Amino acid sequence: MTSARLPGAPARRLNIRQRQALTAYTFLAVPLLFFLIVRFLPTLSAFRLSLFKYSILKDDQPFIGLDNYARLASDENFHKALLNTGLYTVIGVPVQIALGLAVALLLGRARLFQGLLRALYFLPYVTPVVAAAWVWQWLFSPQFGPINTFLVWLHLPPQNFLNSPSQALPVTAALVVWQNLGFQIVLFLAGLSAIPRSLYEAAELDGASGWRLFVGITLPLLNPTIVFSVVTGTIAYLQLFTQIVNLNFTDQGGPLGSTLSVAVYIYQMAFGRYEMGYASALTVALFVIIMLITLFQLRFLTRRFDY
């Protein structure tokens, strides 16, 4: 039978585990509060705004329910932007993962200047996006770009690149791949270093080598790294904005809308035509798309391997 604490008796002190838990939750509360204020509340505000025909140029902001979402179904510009965004993702994510893994494997075998090579590959990732886009614009300029100069030197016809509806999107995707390659290399280097060397030695004793080691050990144990790379890369491409805007100042959607992404279209609706309600509906739609794709990737790409 537990006796009640007498009046005036000292309160029971927390044990070490309880104090550690209290400290952990206290520190976790700070980023959680920041996330709720900076991320969650604006998302709810955007959904609320999407239910109105809201324009900063008008005093009347009528409630229209789901009309903005119905408008998405017949908006050809949105369909074009959605298609382009999907193409960016389908082109960019596999290429940057494949190149990142290949370079990481090569760097793992390098014995000389390993630190210098890693720094050189990572340099584009820390380069300001705007500056990189301007340099890319100069490189692929149809009039005076070095790429076309080199093609002429090879007796090949010059290309329009960023002024071509068929070439502008791949050139833009190439910029994003080049910028993100260093980050992918660092991820895969970390993943490769975490694989125990003893597994390779045991497999080599059984006669495995080369491709069999890669398929049987390296790829399976890199699954968490690959899943993280796919998810973060997909989210980045679905939100692609800065590179597109800075590659073409006069036409931020590219020739015939060939580089227009959903994020750029949201910007045009919100700050070009001041249709904040419809831009909010576009934002909510993009959020739902990203969430569904992320959940799908986490569900079907994650594998567990035991050795």
- Answer yes or no: are the C-beta atoms of 111 and 119 closer than 8 Å: no
Quickly state the pLDDT bin for 39 (edges 50, 70, 90).
confident
Which contiguous run of DSSP H or E holds residue 25? helix 16-35
| Angle, alpha carbons 269-271-273 (nearest 5°) | 50
| Ramachandran assignment for 129, one of left (phi > 0), alpha (psi -120 to 50 degrees), beta (any other) | alpha
- Answer yes or no: are the C-beta atoms of 235 and 106 closer than 8 Å: no
Mean model confidence pLDDT for the chain: 87
Q: Alpha-carbon distance 73 to 141, whole Å?
A: 36
The tokens describing 73, both together, are 């179904």
- 21-35, 264-278, 286-300: segment of lowest average pLDDT: 21-35
Q: Alpha-carbon distance 252 to 27, whole Å?
A: 42
Nearest to 81 by CA among 266, 305, 261: 261
Q: Does the pLDDT at position 215 exceed 50?
A: yes
Q: Alpha-carbon distance 134 to 243, whole Å?
A: 9
pLDDT digits (tens, 9 = 90+) for 122-138: 888 989 999 999 999 99
